[in-house]
């Protein structure tokens, strides 16, 4: 039986020392005040909402090794990434179709750049403290072109993604001429695409699996991604290529564990395993000498730091390169994965990707090694949770005082445990809110309390 671990204490990060203080709610994006006379709830900054100050020592040491940061720099970087993600999300909602992407730069991620196709938007972008870049193509245009390429792609052009920094759709070709043939076959305008040659061949990382390893009944091992629950059932999220529905599993100690309840691969690379009564889901990821807490599932922006846990290579960190990437393995195409600079090797499949204390996804595949470097892709966690109706196991957050005895409940359509995508709208406490960053809602993250996640309409 898995041992429970003590809850890690969560400390607040002082906002005064943050270089990105201007990226909290800038004047162009400030939410209107509530229109009632009820007491104003305590509002968290993005860094506080995402628990940036409570990053575990194991994660900070890995960031120091792989990103060359001191402990203090790593903590500042996590805080800056949280604030930048919230600011970029607000601007995406405000700019609509002219939005062309956002990313962070700098050792401490203290520079946020937001791209737009309309010159008139630049003042509003700068008003938030971000840099503005005027470009030719909107993000929606590039993503729709990528979808057309995805439908016709083969392993000769195995990877496709939108490079928001370069404002172009990138096609990696493993065989000369494959990229150009794909573009011609789909009718995608050539000026949207840049073809680059690659000698790497992404593949699912099948052989030896870890984080906490588990074994499939038919042979082989994979990694536990993140602990989840479904009602009273304990279990975990992992990669779909590790097993099919009905495949039995045993744990790292070879004790009978459970079975796959759902699996998708190719198309996506997601699955979940329901455990038997001998196993308990815990809100931690195995680090290099300790456990790293999981407090939520807010996906971080391009340029953000991200760390991965796997049984073959342990803890390694890098940065997010592109979201919504498509990869064609020999087994077929998967879409919607995130491309990273984190290394991985066979045996790391299914393992956890985490940014600070925010769960990002589960390892799908990649190329290269942790000796020579490489590229790795992860299946984002929120779509997996939504597909299977799962609740991420977290260390929890302070829900605040809430209504007193005899006071009316806030009501509305917002609900803890539901997965929300950017752009979704809810009602809460008599007001309407739009989701800014995809996440699974939890107690303490009610819309009025977390402007990093919700915008008052």
Catalytic amino acids? 241, 269, 349
Q: Using an 8 Å Cβ cutoff, are 448 and 441 in contact?
A: no
**CA nearest neighbour of 320 among 67, 94, 133:** 67
Strands (E), 189-331: 193-197, 203-204, 213-216, 221-223, 226-230, 233-238, 248-250, 256-264, 270-275, 284-286, 291-293, 305-310, 314-329
CA distance 97 to 194: 22
Q: Using an 8 Å Cβ cutoff, are 280 and 345 in contact?
A: no
Other Cβ atoms less than 10 A from the Cβ of 135: the count is 17
CA distance 348 to 361: 13
Q: Which residues contact 246 (CB under 8 A, 6 or more apart)?
A: 259, 260
**DSSP SS3 for 97:** helix
């Amino acid at each position: 039986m898995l041992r429970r671990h003590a809850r890690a204490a969560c400390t607040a990060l002082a906002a005064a020392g943050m270089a990105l203080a201007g990226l909290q709610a800038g004047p162009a994006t400030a939410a209107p005040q509530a229109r009632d006379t009820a007491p104003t709830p305590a509002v968290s900054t993005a860094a506080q909402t995402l628990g940036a100050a409570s990053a575990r020592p194991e994660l900070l040491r890995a960031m120091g090794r792989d990103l060359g940061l001191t402990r203090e720099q790593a903590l500042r970087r996590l805080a800056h990434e949280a604030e930048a993600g919230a600011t970029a999300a607000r601007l995406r909602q405000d700019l609509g179709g002219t939005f062309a992407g956002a990313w962070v730069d700098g050792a401490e991620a203290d520079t946020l750049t937001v791209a737009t196709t309309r010159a008139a938007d630049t003042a509003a972008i700068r008003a938030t403290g971000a840099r503005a870049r005027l470009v030719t193509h909107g993000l929606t245009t590039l993503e729709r072109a990528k979808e057309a390429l995805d439908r016709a792609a083969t392993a000769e052009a195995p990877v496709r993604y939108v490079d928001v920094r370069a404002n172009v759709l990138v096609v990696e070709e493993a065989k000369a001429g494959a990229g150009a043939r794909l573009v011609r076959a789909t009718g995608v305008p050539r000026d949207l695409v840049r073809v680059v040659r690659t000698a790497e061949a992404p593949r699912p990382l099948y052989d030896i699996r870890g984080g906490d390893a588990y074994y499939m009944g038919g042979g082989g091992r994979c990694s536990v991604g993140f602990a989840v629950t479904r009602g009273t059932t304990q279990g975990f999220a992992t990669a779909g290529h590790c097993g099919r529905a009905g495949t039995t599993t045993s744990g790292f100690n070879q004790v009978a564990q459970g079975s796959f309840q759902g699996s998708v691969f190719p198309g996506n690379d997601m699955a979940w395993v329901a455990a038997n009564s001998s196993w308990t889901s815990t809100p931690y990821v195995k680090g290099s000498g300790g456990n790293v807490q999981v407090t939520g599932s807010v996906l971080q922006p391009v340029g953000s730091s991200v760390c991965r846990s796997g049984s073959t290579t342990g803890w390694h960190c890098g940065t997010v390169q592109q979201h919504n990437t498509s990869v064609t393995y020999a087994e077929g195409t998967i879409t919607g994965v995130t491309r990273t600079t984190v290394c991985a090797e066979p045996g790391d499949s299914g393992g956890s990707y985490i940014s600070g204390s925010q769960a990002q996804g589960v390892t799908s595949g990649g190329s290269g090694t942790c000796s020579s470097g490489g590229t790795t892709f992860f299946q984002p966690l929120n779509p997996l949770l939504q597909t299977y109706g799962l609740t991420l196991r977290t260390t929890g957050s302070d829900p605040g005082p809430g209504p007193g005895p005899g006071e009316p409940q806030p009501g509305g359509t917002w609900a803890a445990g539901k997965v929300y995508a950017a752009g979704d709208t809810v009602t809460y406490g008599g007001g309407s809110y739009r989701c800014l960053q995809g996440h699974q809602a939890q107690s303490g993250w009610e819309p009025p309390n977390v402007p990093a996640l919700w915008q008052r309409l």
